């Protein structure tokens, strides 16, 4: 009430006394505050939520109606505008109002969910809040199936119903912990960007040959496809020869500055020529020439032999934009069936979370001793 202009005497522990008429004085905003309100409500159109946009405009109209005449005129002639190109947003089929009510009333919701791979699952979620990203609406919640925080694209939900599980008064605590967790992750990422030596996408790739002789080397992760984790190499290299005779492999990412690692086990298969061509075209001219010049893993007499080969292929392909992909250069994809997330803990009491893909293609989760 004091913020609204009411004169109140007193302090905590001593009591309070209204010293004047308890009626609030007329609402008043500065020009900049009026501009800020108008700008905020005008931006709601970009979220694709008609009910939310209408509610914002109705609220602003009531605020303007309560202003003195000269301030009301300011709001009608605001000089600030926000414009962005309208982006296509996925169609939402569930009742968003039901999601909002569940958040406010702190009650669970049930829905069927389809992930990006098209796999469906049924979930019961403790909804904590809705987040409007630039392209879609997201639900943040505590998943009772996974017993962890999860974010869901609302457009991927269907058959949404109200649940019976109340989590009042846990919502505030759950949300605070989620925000703290995300902030810690963000801060760790900023540290990693500034302190990680180089190549955060570097990983140790382990293979074994037909005699089960293991071999490990560092490679760079260059993408994800429907099958898994993609890296590129010469198809006659030692790693490729190993994979052709034994397609079992494993990967390990280790980020020292984050005190984390991820271990992945799976089967390796060759990617399509189209996918290899697409990536190859993004490489620098020198890297594309190098793919032709280097017979990877074969014995080299001396460095001059390699440099001579590079110059020969530069003469053969002088145009930076026309360097075809060698048929002996492509990519491999590791399709995981086991993934372990490892987080450093004090006194070596690390956290280890293991996911194993079952016969239905879903992931079973378990905790491991450090």
Cite the active site residues: 348
The residues, ordered by sequence, that sit 6+ positions from 12 with a Cβ below 8 Å of its Cβ are: none
Instruction: Fill in the DSSP letter of residue 236.
Output: T
Dihedral angle, C-alpha 7, 13, 15, 16, nearest 10 °: 10
Classify residue 36 by burial, with Cβ atoms within 10 Å: 0-12, 13-18, 19+: middle
Beta strands in 213-328 (DSSP E): 214-220, 223-224, 229-234, 248-255, 260-270
- Integer Cα distance of 116 and 225 in angstroms: 12
Which among 294, 300, 333 has a CA at the least distance from the CA of 312? 294
Q: What is d(CA 148, CA 174) in angstroms, rounded to the nearest whole number?
A: 10
Alpha-carbon span 192 to 184, nearest angstrom: 12
* Residue with tokens 């006659």, as numbered in its chain: 236
Does an H or E element contain 277, and which? Answer: helix 273-280
Residue 167's Cα: distance from chain center in Å? 26
208: helix, coil or strand? Answer: strand
Cα three-residue angle 27-33-35, rounded to 5 degrees: 120
CA gap 167, 34 in Å, rounded: 38
Q: How many angstroms separate the CA atoms of 364 and 297, rounded?
A: 39
Instruction: Give the integer Cα–Cα distance in Å for 4 and 2.
Output: 5
Closest by CA position to 265, among listed 249, 245, 253 = 249
């Amino acid at each position: 009430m004091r913020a609204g202009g009411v004169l109140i005497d007193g302090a905590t522990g001593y009591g309070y006394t209204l010293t004047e008429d308890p009626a609030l004085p007329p609402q008043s905003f500065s020009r900049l505050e009026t501009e800020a309100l108008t700008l905020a409500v005008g931006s709601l159109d970009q979220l694709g939520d008609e009910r939310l946009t209408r509610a914002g405009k109705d609220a602003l109209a009531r605020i303007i109606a309560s202003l003195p005449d000269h301030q009301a005129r300011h709001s009608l002639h605001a000089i600030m505008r926000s414009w962005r190109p309208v982006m296509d947003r996925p169609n939402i089929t569930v009742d968003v109002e039901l999601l909002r009510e569940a958040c406010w009333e702190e009650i669970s919701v049930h829905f069927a969910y389809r992930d990006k791979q098209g796999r469906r699952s049924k979930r019961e979620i403790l909804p904590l809040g809705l987040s409007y990203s630039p392209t879609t609406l997201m639900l943040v919640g505590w998943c009772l199936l996974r017993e962890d925080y999860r974010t869901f694209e609302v457009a991927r939900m269907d058959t949404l119903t109200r649940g019976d599980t109340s989590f009042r008064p846990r919502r505030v605590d759950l949300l605070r912990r989620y925000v703290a967790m995300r902030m810690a992750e963000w801060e760790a990422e900023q540290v990693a960007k500034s302190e990680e030596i180089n190549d955060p996408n570097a990983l140790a790739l382990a293979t074994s040959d037909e005699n089960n002789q293991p071999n490990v080397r560092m490679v760079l992760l260059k993408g994800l496809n429907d099958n898994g984790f993609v890296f590129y190499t010469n198809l006659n290299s030692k790693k490729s020869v190993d994979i052709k005779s034994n397609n079992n492999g494993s990967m390990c990412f280790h980020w020292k500055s984050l005190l984390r690692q991820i271990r992945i086990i799976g089967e390796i298969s060759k990617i399509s020529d189209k996918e290899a061509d697409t990536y190859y075209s993004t490489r620098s001219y020198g890297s594309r020439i190098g793919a032709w010049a280097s017979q990877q893993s074969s014995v080299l007499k001396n460095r001059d032999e390699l440099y001579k080969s590079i110059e020969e292929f530069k003469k053969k392909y002088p145009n930076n934009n026309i360097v075809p992909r060698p048929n002996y250069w492509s990519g491999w994809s590791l399709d995981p069936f086991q993934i372990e997330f490892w987080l450093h803990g004090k006194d070596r009491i690390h956290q280890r979370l293991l996911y194993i893909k079952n016969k239905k293609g879903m992931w079973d989760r378990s905790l491991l001793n450090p």
